[in-house]
């Protein structure tokens, strides 16, 4: 049976852990509102950028693409070439299944594309460490972005977009796949596995390319010049929204995890306190029995 000293030490350590988990919960709760507001502001902009690029692409004729940098970002490439994975995880743990689900999705994607050369663009230490541990894969790290959460900004998205666009321009990459956690609510996040490049697959999906909306546009400067200027900004805007989604989802997951940990600590403290009281009562009862037995022995 554990001594009273051991039980008191155990209670003290659990109380210390509870203080830490409660503080982490309150910090996450204080930051989540700002993160939610940032998402609500970025989502409409990202959707409108998608619509704008789709409309502009629909206005282009085949000959308009001659000599344009936009063609390389839009058109499908020869199948069977290398692939690029952009994995967005957290830098730290203690956020429930947030990182675990992401790494499972990344592992499943890597398994599906086994035998292909993979270029990895990683955001977050958890994803970096996970991919570094993998062996037997033709995996090459191209860019790492660490320590940006929970204060991510557009400059980080710009750095990420520059790295992805440079890789896509210099390597014969067939496509760029993006895996991240999308913020749905305070209690739920959704794993998203989507195509970032080529843009025809990302924006137009499986529908017919060049679908027109019947609008009458006048362009100044030329259509291709406008598209060349917009596409890097479009990629950066999509990645900025991705980083904000992941940041809010991580904060929500951490707040829920720390709340559960604090409740578990409270229940554990109550159980240990009850155990301590029972142990102390048993010790007192034993001492009383010894005193009574000694008195009877002396009296006899």
Q: Which residues are catalytic?
A: 95
Q: Look-up: residue for tokens 């749905």?
A: 184
Which is it for strands 175-183 and 139-145: parallel, antiparallel or unpaired? unpaired
- 246 Cβ contact partners less than 8 Å away, ≥ 6 residues apart: 88, 89, 90, 123, 149, 180, 181, 183
CA distances, 199 to each of 1, 156, 235 (Å): 67, 21, 9
Q: What angle do CA 220, 224, 229 make, to 5 degrees?
A: 80
| Separation CA 75–CA 246 (nearest Å) | 29
Burial class (CB in 10 A: 0-12, 13-18, 19+), 20: middle
Picking from 192, 13, 210, the residue whose alpha carbon sits closest to that of residue 88 is: 192
Quick one: tokens of 292?
Answer: 């009574």
225, two tokens: 């010049």
Nearest 5°: the CA angle 247, 164, 107 is: 65
Residue 88 CB neighbours (<10 A): 26
Q: Are 115 and 273 in contact (CB under 8 A)?
A: no
Q: Tokens representing 157?
A: 């998205």
Phi/psi-derived region of residue 35, left when phi > 0, alpha when psi is between -120 and 50, beta in every other case: alpha
């Amino acid at each position: 049976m554990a001594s009273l000293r051991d039980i008191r030490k155990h209670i003290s350590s659990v109380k210390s852990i509870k203080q830490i988990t409660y503080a982490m919960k309150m910090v996450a709760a204080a930051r989540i509102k700002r993160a939610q507001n940032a998402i609500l502001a970025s989502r409409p902009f990202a959707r409108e950028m998608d619509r704008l690029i789709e409309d502009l692409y629909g206005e282009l004729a085949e000959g308009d693409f001659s000599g344009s940098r936009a063609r390389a970002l839009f058109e499908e490439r020869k199948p069977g070439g290398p692939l690029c994975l952009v994995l967005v995880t957290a830098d730290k743990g203690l956020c429930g299944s947030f990182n675990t689900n992401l790494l499972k999705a990344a592992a499943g994607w890597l398994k599906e594309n086994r035998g292909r050369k993979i270029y990895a663009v990683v955001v977050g230490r958890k994803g970096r460490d996970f991919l570094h541990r993998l062996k037997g894969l033709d995996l090459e790290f191209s860019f790492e972005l660490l320590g940006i959460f929970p204060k991510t900004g557009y400059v980080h998205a710009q750095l990420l977009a520059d790295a992805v666009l440079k890789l896509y321009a210099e390597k014969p990459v067939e496509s760029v796949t993006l895996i991240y956690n999308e913020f749905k609510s305070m209690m739920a996040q959704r794993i998203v596995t989507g195509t970032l490049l080529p843009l025809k697959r990302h924006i137009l999906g499986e529908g017919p390319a060049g679908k027109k909306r019947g609008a009458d546009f006048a362009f100044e400067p030329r259509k291709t010049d406008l598209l060349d200027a917009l596409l890097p900004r479009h990629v950066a805007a999509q990645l900025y929204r991705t980083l904000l989604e992941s940041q809010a989802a991580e904060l929500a997951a951490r707040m829920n995890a720390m709340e559960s940990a604090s409740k578990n600590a409270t229940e554990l403290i109550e159980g240990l306190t009850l155990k301590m009281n029972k142990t102390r009562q048993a010790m007192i009862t034993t001492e009383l029995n010894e005193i009574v037995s000694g008195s009877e022995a002396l009296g006899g």
